[in-house]
Amino acid sequence: MLSYQHGFHAGNRADVLKHAVLDTLLRSAAAGPRPIFYVETHSGRGRYDLTNAQARKRGES
């Protein structure tokens, strides 16, 4: 079985688009009169160094 390591893909166009859409949706929901509850169930480390060897290897970041 292959393992997925996000460090090789962090910062690519799809990743940035995903976070931009999520940010827009959460801001829109939070602007409403009722509170929101959001749980991220499949998050990674949360911070990736886009200048290290792993990130540069595939040239996606």
Task: Reply yes or no on whether the pLDDT at 34 is more than 70.
Answer: yes
- Whether residue 12 contacts residue 60, with contact meaning beta carbons closer than 8 Å, is answered with yes
- Under the banding of pLDDT at 50, 70 and 90, the label for residue 7 is confident
Domain count, the chain: 1
Task: Reply yes or no on whether the pLDDT at 45 is more than 90.
Answer: no
Model pLDDT, residue 31: 96
Residue 37, in any domain of the structure: yes
CA–CA gap between residue 13 and residue 3 (Å, rounded): 21
CA–CA gap between residue 22 and residue 20 (Å, rounded): 5
Domain hosting 51: range is 6-57
Residue 1, in any domain of the structure: no
Mean pLDDT of the 33-49 span: 86
Model pLDDT, residue 20: 96
Mean pLDDT of the 40-61 span: 79
Mean pLDDT of the 28-51 span: 88
